[in-house]
A and B are shown apart, each in its own frame.
Chain A
Amino acid sequence: MSSKKRILVVCGTGIATSTVVAKKLEEELKKKGIEVETRQCKAAEVEGRLDGINLIVTTTPVPDNLGVPVIRTLAFLTGIGEEQVVEEVAKKLKEGGEN
């Protein structure tokens, strides 16, 4: 019913790290049958990039109370705990869809 969920992937510069994270997120979610659209930005720009975003996945701290769920994780860079984080992302996206 709803269109693709949008994930904002955030890192320090919004270039290298977030691209890696976005690519892995898309791949892992696809394996679970979840199609998402990812956008990227640097931490300092987050507040201006929230339009239409369902979830933020970040490698670096972002401000509180953005009104969008935030998952801060390095799992997609280190491989440590990656599966759990993918589960968490999938869960958060589902919860968001019920609102």
Chain B
Amino acid sequence: MRFDEIVKEEFVFVKKNFKSNKETISFLSKQLQEKGFVKESFLEAVLKREKEHPTGLYLGKINVAIPHTDVKYVLKPGIAVATLKEPVAFGKMDEPEKKIPVHIVFLLAVQDPKGYVKFLAKLTRSFGSNLFISSIYSSESSEKLKSLLLEIFKEEGRQ
């Protein structure tokens, strides 16, 4: 699976204004659905999972969330990304009762977990870099953000 087939500029949105995690997930899910990446039932399944098992990851200053759901709701592997002007509250993955402000949302359309995991491992590995996260968050255009994302997948062999 090629990473540039997963990360597409049309699904990358910068400096968006959303009021809640639900609004953010709904918007991103709609984009994927309209282009035939996920089934109509995907949105509801993601929201349900987010409620039971939230996906907010606390990184410090800028936090991220990786909402996703079962492969059966997905037609093609993909990812939709939004950076938020003002953070929205997500539950914390390891302490679901706690809410954290999230600035970047990566909605994951996981289809073949084995193939997708390489992608996801690289993505999550990049969360450890403050520099990377802040450059993602300060990206002024979808094109810039997409190229930053593709960059991390090029650096083969980097630890």
Query: Size class of B's contact patch?
Result: 20 to 34
Q: Quick one: which of A13, A43, A60, A72 contacts B69, CB cutoff 8 A?
A: A13
Assuming the A-B contacts A20-B117, A59-B93, are A77 and B57 also in contact, with contact meaning beta carbons closer than 8 angstroms in the complex? Answer: yes
CB distance from B124 to the nearest CB of A (A): 5
Say yes or no: A16 contacts B93, CB within 8 Å. no
**A74 to B116 alpha-carbon distance, docked (Å):** 19
> Does the CB pair B52–A12 fall under 8 Å?
yes
Interface residues on A, range: 20 to 34
> Cβ of B70 and Cβ of A13 under 8 Å apart?
yes
Count of CB-CB pairs between chains A and B under 8 Å: 75
B70: chain A residues at CB < 8 Å are 13, 15
The smallest beta-carbon distance between B58 and chain A, in angstroms, is 7
Q: Return the CB mask of B44-78 against A: 1 if under 8 Å, else 0.
A: 00000100110101110000001011110000000
Binding site for B on A (CB under 8 A): 11-13, 15-17, 19-20, 23-24, 43, 59-61, 72-74, 76-80, 82
**Residues in chain B within 8 A of chain A (CB atoms):** 49, 52-53, 55, 57-59, 66, 68-71, 93-96, 108, 110, 113-114, 116-117, 120-121, 124-125, 127-129
13 examples of A-B residue contacts, CB within 8 angstroms? A12-B53, A12-B55, A15-B110, A16-B66, A17-B55, A17-B66, A17-B93, A19-B114, A60-B94, A61-B94, A74-B58, A74-B93, A78-B128
